[in-house]
């Protein structure tokens, strides 16, 4: 069925594009189209438009050793089918330029800037070609993801400056905030331009916690990669490690035991619960509603305690392993989880009641930080932020993995797209997660929890999408010998940061922390 639909995508291409496709093949639910670099933009634009596809990831590989060229990969997810279209475009031999997709596909913006930084390939015609990942004191001509850049290389620091967008006019002031913030949070720089109190422009500058994870992964054997994936973004360790393990399992065409899929589902939802309760409590905290915040954080602590009780790790580390999960859930664990959840559910409803009946809180969150649905679609915003603006997309339903296709759940949606809508949406998602855990524990079949995964063929490509508490994240691997040749990671935050620049416009500066909290993006996951 899926294969049929994918084949139709190729057949329905307009003749002038059809002739540009050099090769097409379907592998699993992935349609791979090979085309020339000059036709990449028009082909991608057609599929993006004609099939209302969203851009899943766009990245490059350095194939100079084998084929004397770089390659670009554009992965699109057409609406309504559980399948992907990957467009592969090799650059001309020794060429380091390609035509930018951004003028046609807006969401390609940061991906192309990342490719420019990490591979030194110029996106010709990109509206904003400033560096994104590489920092100001990084010398020109050093591109970390090229294969001739050794892992231990430390380039000298040079002096240069980054030019922020200037807003000028009478009474317009700039407020630089960060990268060091008051509080134990991650580093990021926010450059506000304000006219009086309202924000008229915000520019986010990130990259301060770039750790070179993709580069490190290229020299990390698969069995150790799970530990690395768990540490990409500390509070999304199950989501990232599940995506990594699923990708490697797909490379080896391995079947994970059903019980392991159910356990992964339980862990993914436990992670969602503690993250989202933390987000909701943060909203209470940032509106100076201390009683709500204290009760919320107490709940979050109980969720973390449950995590520790089940897995030995509050942040659910060491849960996943390639081929399944590490530790089984005993009958005793099941009882403990169910009784803890009964209490959590009751106390969570009390917290919701307390928050949504507090007029001082509602006054701060209603109409604050609006993100329209049009903008959410245009920027390809993902996760709860997108759904609060009315976008109907959830990887768990649209591209089911683990045991999600055997469980019943709703994908809540909001309409207003403000802080209030995002908070309420997260409340609904927590309720769905409670129900998902109950169902998964009930439906969990007996059996093994782990299978042996070996013989990962070099040169294969696989990809996995997982709905993390912040939205969909992607792991994409081109296999090498015993380890990835190229490992592309895209965290949900990478899609959502630009949306925040839009959502704050017209709001007053004191509401920025609140809007920021309602997005709750990861710096580490974005920077990699």
Binding site for another protein (CB under 8 A): 224, 227, 291, 295, 298, 305, 308-313, 317-318, 326-327, 350-351, 353-354, 357
Is 49 or 312 the residue whose CB approaches another protein more closely? 312
Give the whole-angstrom CA distance, residue 372 versus residue 368. Answer: 12
Smallest distance from the beta carbon of 231 to another protein, in angstroms?
8
Give the Cα separation of 380 and 475 in Å (integer).
Answer: 17
Closest distance of CB 206 from another protein, Å: 25
Cβ-based nearer residue to another protein, 220 or 526? 220
Would you say 53 or 306 has its CB closer to another protein?
306
- Residue 85 or 361: the one with the smaller Cβ distance to another protein is 361
Q: In the complex with another protein, which residue's Cβ is closer, 26 or 354? A: 354
CB-nearer residue toward another protein: 70 or 289: 289
C-alpha distances (whole Å) from 313 to each of 50, 61, 308, 324 are 46, 36, 5, 18
Minimum CB separation from another protein for residue 379, in Å? 36
How many CB atoms neighbour CB 103 within 10 A? 14
In the complex, minimum distance from the CB of residue 298 to another protein, in angstroms, rounded to a whole number:
6
- Of the pair 136, 349, the CB lying nearest another protein is at 349
Q: Report how far residue 449's alpha carbon sits from residue 139's, in angstroms, rounded to the nearest whole number.
A: 48
Judged by beta carbon, residue 295 or residue 522, the one nearer another protein is: 295
Nearest approach in angstroms of CB 193 to another protein is 41
DSSP state of 198: B
Helix/strand number for the chain, H first, E second: 19, 15
**286-291: long-range contacts at Cβ-Cβ below 8 A with a sequence spacing of 24 or more?**
286/513, 286/514, 286/517, 287/360, 287/361, 287/364, 287/365, 287/514, 289/355, 289/358, 289/360, 289/361, 291/354
Q: What CA–CA distance (Å, rounded) separates 43 from 87?
A: 8
Question: Between residues 20 and 317, which has the closer beta carbon with respect to another protein?
Answer: 317
Q: How far is the CB of 230 from another protein (least distance, A)?
A: 9
Least distance to another protein from the beta carbon of 218, Å? Answer: 16
Among 398, 395, 397, 402, smallest CA distance to 444 is for 402
User: Between vectors from CA 382 to CA 236 and to CA 163, what angle results, nearest 5°?
Assistant: 90
**∠ CA 397-252-115 to the nearest 5 degrees?**
70
Alpha-carbon separation of residue 451 from 87, 254, 256, 410, 460 (angstroms):
32, 8, 6, 31, 20
Assigned token pair, 481: 């010998």
Which is nearer to another protein, 321 or 477 (by Cβ)? 321
Q: Which residue, among 303, 528, 207, 269, has the nearest Cα to 407 in the 3D structure?
A: 269
Cβ of residue 411: shortest distance to another protein, in angstroms?
Answer: 30
Of the two residues 225 and 390, which places its CB atom closer to another protein in the complex?
225
Nearest distance in Å: CB 318, another protein: 5
Nearest 5°: the CA angle 431, 414, 274 is 35
CA distance 517 to 396: 24
Cis peptide before 408 (omega within 30 of 0): no
Instruction: Tell me the pairing of strands 122-124 and 97-99.
Output: parallel
**Closest C-alpha among 105, 99, 8, 104 to residue 55:** 105
Q: How far is the CB of 61 from another protein (least distance, A)?
A: 26
Shortest reach from residue 17's CB to another protein, in Å: 46
């Amino acid at each position: 069925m899926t294969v049929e639909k994918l084949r139709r995508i190729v057949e329905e291409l307009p003749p002038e594009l059809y002739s540009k496709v050099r090769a097409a093949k379907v592998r699993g639910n992935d349609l791979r189209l090979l085309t020339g670099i000059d036709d990449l933009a028009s082909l991608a634009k057609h599929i993006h438009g004609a099939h209302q596809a969203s851009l899943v990831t766009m990245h490059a590989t350095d194939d100079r050793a084998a084929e004397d060229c770089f390659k670009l990969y554009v992965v699109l997810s057409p609406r309504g089918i559980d399948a992907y279209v990957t467009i592969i475009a090799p650059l001309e031999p020794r060429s380091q330029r390609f035509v930018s997709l951004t003028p046609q596909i807006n969401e390609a913006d940061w991906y192309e800037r990342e490719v420019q930084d990490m591979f030194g390939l110029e996106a010709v015609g990109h509206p904003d070609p400033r560096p994104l990942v590489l920092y100001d004191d990084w010398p020109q001509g050093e591109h970390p993801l090229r294969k001739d850049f050794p892992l231990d290389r430390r380039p000298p620091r040079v002096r240069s400056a980054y030019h922020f967008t200037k807003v000028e006019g009478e009474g317009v002031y700039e407020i630089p905030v960060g990268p060091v913030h008051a509080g134990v949070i991650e580093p990021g720089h926010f450059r506000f331009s304000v006219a009086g109190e309202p924000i008229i422009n915000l520019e986010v500058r990130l990259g301060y916690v770039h750790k070179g994870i993709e580069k490190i992964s290229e020299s990390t054997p698969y069995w150790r990669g799970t530990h690395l994936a768990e540490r990409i973004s500390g509070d999304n360790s199950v989501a990232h490690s599940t995506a990594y393990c699923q990708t490697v399992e797909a490379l080896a065409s391995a079947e994970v035991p059903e019980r392991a899929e159910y356990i992964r589902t339980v862990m993914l939802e436990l992670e969602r619960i503690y993250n989202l309760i933390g987000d909701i409590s943060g909203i209470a905290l940032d509106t100076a509603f201390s009683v709500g915040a204290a009760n919320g954080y107490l709940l979050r602590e109980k969720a973390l305690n449950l995590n520790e009780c089940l897995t030995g790790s509050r942040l659910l580390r060491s849960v996943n392993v390639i081929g399944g999960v590490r530790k089984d859930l005993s009958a005793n664990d099941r009882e403990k989880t169910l009784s803890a959840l009964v209490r959590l559910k009751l106390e969570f409803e009390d917290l919701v009641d307390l928050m949504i009946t507090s007029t001082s809180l509602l006054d701060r969150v209603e109409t604050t930080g609006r993100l329209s649905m049009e903008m959410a679609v245009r920027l390809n915003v993902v996760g709860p932020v997108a759904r609060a603006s009315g976008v109907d997309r959830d990887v768990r339903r649209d591209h089911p993995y683990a045991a999600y296709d055997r469980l019943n759940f709703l994908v809540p949606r909001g309409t207003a797209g403000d802080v209030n809508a995002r908070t309420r949406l997260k409340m609904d998602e927590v309720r769905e997660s409670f129900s998902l855990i109950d169902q998964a524990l009930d439906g969990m079949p007996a059996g093994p929890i782990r299978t042996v995964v070996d013989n990962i063929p070099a040169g294969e490509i696989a990809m996995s999408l997982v709905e993390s508490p912040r939205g969909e994240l992607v792991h994409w691997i081109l296999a090498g010998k015993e380890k990835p040749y190229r490992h592309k990671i895209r965290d949900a935050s990478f899609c959502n940061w630009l949306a925040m620049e839009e959502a704050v416009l017209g709001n007053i500066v004191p509401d920025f922390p609140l809007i920021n909290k309602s997005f709750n993006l990861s710096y580490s996951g974005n920077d990699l």
